Homo-oligomer: A and B are copies of this chain.
């Protein structure tokens, strides 16, 4: 159990998920004594749907994926992925070291046929609806064919978990005109335009938050920076809003009056409800929670995993890729 808060937030999130989903079974993997103690503190009784597995090793947040692969054979992360591999669990949720999680998942679960590398995909809230954005950092330098694979995976995930029949797929670029952008996106645009996907063209950075399309595809370098920059601007706005409201007695009074409104706004835009990024392209379901996730946030990541299990996302991606390889380009 990784992340900034570890079991202290993950155990309560797990107990909450068990309450909400009567059919859910969870295996908590980590430092068993710590987990048991937290379970007792939360008043959790022994439960047939809740198992605890001890993991003697810990993957630190700064460790290199290659070193983790070589040396940490008994970390909670590795044990969890092995349970998925062996069919003893249907999904793995982790708030730990992203690079290590990806390397282990790729090594143990293997890729689906037709996928070169996993991509990290998350849901972004938007003015007119949600958008799935990928890749968020798994592939810093993909080629156009890999971007095409991301598009297929993002499209299948969206149609599966959001029930969108034929998701609108776009490429992230620095302008909507065909002449803009680097060679990678221009080549990917040709591949997508010739495919059976519902490809709608290029969108710009601001469209990540308009909800104008269902899936936005980009390389992992750009996606990661766009995501972090967005977090940065939200934090900047929050900082100044708080500072101004707290500056004066009048401001504190006004803030008090606004409490119900601010609460309603927070419900709409709470990033915690969007926590849980999917590692797509693997022969199994792996969901990455934000490292700083609290219990509310981690519970969202568990929800994402449940949904992907129910919708059988890896099989859907696999079938779609097979169909594309068989049927060739659209007319």
User: B-contacting residues of A (Cβ < 8 Å)?
Assistant: 62, 64, 125-127, 137, 140-141, 172, 174, 177, 179, 181-183, 204-210, 218, 220-222, 224-237, 239-241, 244-245, 247, 250-251, 254, 257-258, 260-261, 264-265, 268-269
Contact = CB atoms under 8 A, between A and B. Distances in A.
Contacts of A233: 208-209, 230, 233-234
A237 B239 CA distance: 14
A182 B62 contact: no
B236 A140 contact: no
Contacts of A207: 232
22 contacts: A125-B236, A126-B236, A141-B183, A205-B224, A205-B227, A205-B228, A205-B232, A206-B235, A207-B232, A208-B233, A209-B236, A222-B225, A225-B225, A227-B229, A229-B229, A233-B233, A233-B234, A240-B265, A241-B265, A244-B265, A250-B260, A254-B258
Given A222-B222, A237-B269, A240-B268, A64 B228 contact: no
Nearest to A253: B257
Given A174-B221, A260-B250, A226 B205 contact: yes
Copy number in the complex reads 2
Contacts of A227: 205, 229
A251 B233 CA distance: 25
Nearest to A233: B230
Contacts of A125: 236
Nearest to A225: B205
Given A141-B183, A229-B206, A230-B229, A127 B235 contact: yes
A231 to B, nearest CB: 5
A2 to B, nearest CB: 16
Contacts of A218: 225
Contacts of A206: 228-229, 231-232, 235
Contacts of A264: 244, 247
Nearest to A211: B236
A265 B236 CA distance: 11
Nearest to A257: B254
A281 to B, nearest CB: 19
With most chain B CB atoms within 10 A of its CB, the pick from A179, A236, A241, A247 is A236
A174 B140 contact: yes
Contacts of A245: 261
Contacts of A235: 127, 206, 209-210
A241 B258 CA distance: 11
Contact of A232 (B183, B208, B260, B268): B208
Given A205-B225, A268-B244, A239 B174 contact: no
A209 B238 CA distance: 12
A254 B261 contact: yes
Give the top 7 A-B pairs by smallest Cβ distance, nearest first: A205-B228, A206-B232, A205-B229, A209-B232, A209-B236, A226-B229, A205-B225
A70 to B, nearest CB: 15
A300 to B, nearest CB: 19
Given A230-B229, A258-B258, A239 B127 contact: yes
With most chain B CB atoms within 10 A of its CB, the pick from A126, A181, A205, A224 is A205
